[in-house]
Amino acid sequence: MAVSEAAGLSYEEEHVHEVYEQIASHFSSTRYKPWPIVERFLKEQPNGAIGADVGCGNGKYLAVNKEVFIVGSDRSTNLVKIAQHHKPHDVVVADNLSLPHPPHSFDFAISIAVVHHLSTPARRMEAVKCILDLLRPPQQGVSGSGGKALIYVWALEQKSSRRGWDEGSEQDVMVPWVMTAKKEKVPKKKKKQQKRRGEEGLAQENGEAEKGSEDQKEENSEAPETKPEGDKTFLRYYHLYRKGELEGDIEQAGGVIVESGYEKDNWWAIASLK
Amino acid sequence: MKLLTLNFLTCAIKTCKTNASSFPLHPRDAELEIQEADVNLPFLKNILPRLMWEELRTICKELGLPDLPPTPPTPTDLISGGNSTDTTEGRTQAEQEPSQTAKDLHRVLLETCIQEGKLVCGCCGHEYAVKEGVANFLLPGHLV
CB contacts of A90 in chain B (<8 Å) are 1-2, 4-5
pLDDT computed for residue A182 by the predictor: 62
In a domain? residue A162: no
- Give the pLDDT mean for A120-137: 97
Please tell me whether residues A117 and A191 are part of one structural domain: no
Please tell me whether residues A104 and A183 are part of one structural domain: no
pLDDT computed for residue A101 by the predictor: 98
Please tell me whether residues A252 and A183 are part of one structural domain: no
Please tell me whether residues A123 and A42 are part of one structural domain: yes
Give residue-wise pLDDT tens across range B3-16: 999 999 999 999 99
pLDDT band, residue B84 (cuts 50/70/90): low
Q: What is the sign of the dihedral through the CA atoms of A54, A55, A58 and A61?
A: negative
pLDDT computed for residue B92 by the predictor: 61
User: What percent of chain A is modeled with pLDDT above 90?
Assistant: 53
Please tell me whether residues A102 and A221 are part of one structural domain: no
Q: What is the sign of the dihedral through the CA atoms of B128, A132, A63 and B105?
A: negative
Average pLDDT over chain B reads 92
Give residue-wise pLDDT tens across range B28-67: 999 999 999 999 999 999 999 999 999 999 999 999 999 9
pLDDT band, residue B90 (cuts 50/70/90): low
CATH topology of domain B3-86+95-143: N-terminal domain of TfIIb (2.20.25)
A46, A50, A91 member nearest B8 (Cβ): A50
Q: Number of CB pairs < 8 Å for A and B? A: 97
DSSP at B59: H
- Give the pLDDT mean for B76-92: 67
Q: What is the largest CA-CA distance in chain B?
A: 62
B window 77-136, beta carbon within 8 A of A = 110, 128, 132-136
- Give the pLDDT mean for A209-235: 49
B45 touches chain A (CB under 8 A): yes
Euclidean distance between the first and the last CA atom of chain B, given in angstroms as a whole number: 24
B1 touches chain A (CB under 8 A): yes
Give residue-wise pLDDT tens across range A12-39: 888 888 888 888 777 777 776 788 999 9
For residue A210, is pLDDT > 50?
no
For residue B87, is pLDDT > 60?
no
Please tell me whether residues A125 and A252 are part of one structural domain: yes
Are the CB atoms for A178 and A218 separated by under 8 Å?
yes
Q: How many angstroms away from the CA of A90 is the closest CA of chain B?
A: 7
Chain B residue with minimum CA distance to A17: B138
pLDDT band, residue A188 (cuts 50/70/90): very low
Q: Within 10 Å of residue A127's Cβ, how many Cβ atoms?
A: 25
- Give the pLDDT mean for A112-125: 96
Asked if B9 lies within 8 A of A47 by C-beta distance, the reply is no
pLDDT computed for residue A26 by the predictor: 78
pLDDT computed for residue A228 by the predictor: 58
In a domain? residue A164: no
Number of helices (H), then strands (E), belonging to chain A: the values are: 8, 9
pLDDT computed for residue B93 by the predictor: 58
pLDDT computed for residue A191 by the predictor: 41
- Give the pLDDT mean for A68-84: 95
Q: Within 10 Å of residue B121's Cβ, how many Cβ atoms?
A: 23
Q: Name the residue range of residue A218's domain.
A: 172-239
Return the higher-pLDDT residue of B141 and A137.
Answer: A137
Amino acid A162 reads R
Chain A residue with minimum CA distance to B8: A101
A104 touches chain B (CB under 8 A): no
Amino acid B116 reads E
- Give the pLDDT mean for B79-108: 76
CB environment A251-264: b (16+ within 10 A), e (fewer): eebebeebebeeeb
Return the higher-pLDDT residue of A192 and A265.
Answer: A265
**For residue A104, with 0-12 CB atoms within 10 Å meaning exposed, 13-18 middle and 19 or more buried, which class applies?**
middle
Are the CB atoms for B10 and B17 separated by under 8 Å?
yes
Q: Which CATH number is A30's domain given?
A: 3.40.50.150
pLDDT computed for residue A8 by the predictor: 86
Residue B138's alpha-carbon distances to A5, A17, A74, A95, in angstroms, are: 20, 12, 10, 6
Q: Within 10 Å of residue B78's Cβ, how many Cβ atoms?
A: 25
A6 touches chain B (CB under 8 A): no
- Give the pLDDT mean for A32-60: 92
- Give the pLDDT mean for B121-131: 97
Please tell me whether residues A212 and A103 are part of one structural domain: no
In a domain? residue A71: yes
Please tell me whether residues A141 and A259 are part of one structural domain: yes
Helices (H), chain B: 3-6, 14-17, 41-47, 53-62, 100-106
| ipTM of the complex model | 0.92
For residue A219, is pLDDT > 80?
no
pLDDT computed for residue A220 by the predictor: 33
Boundaries of every domain in chain B: 3-86+95-143
In a domain? residue A23: yes
- Give the pLDDT mean for A29-51: 89
The total number of structural domains in chain A stands at 2
Please tell me whether residues A123 and A56 are part of one structural domain: yes
In a domain? residue A262: yes
Find, among A37, A91, A83, A41, the residue nearest to A63 by Cα.
A83
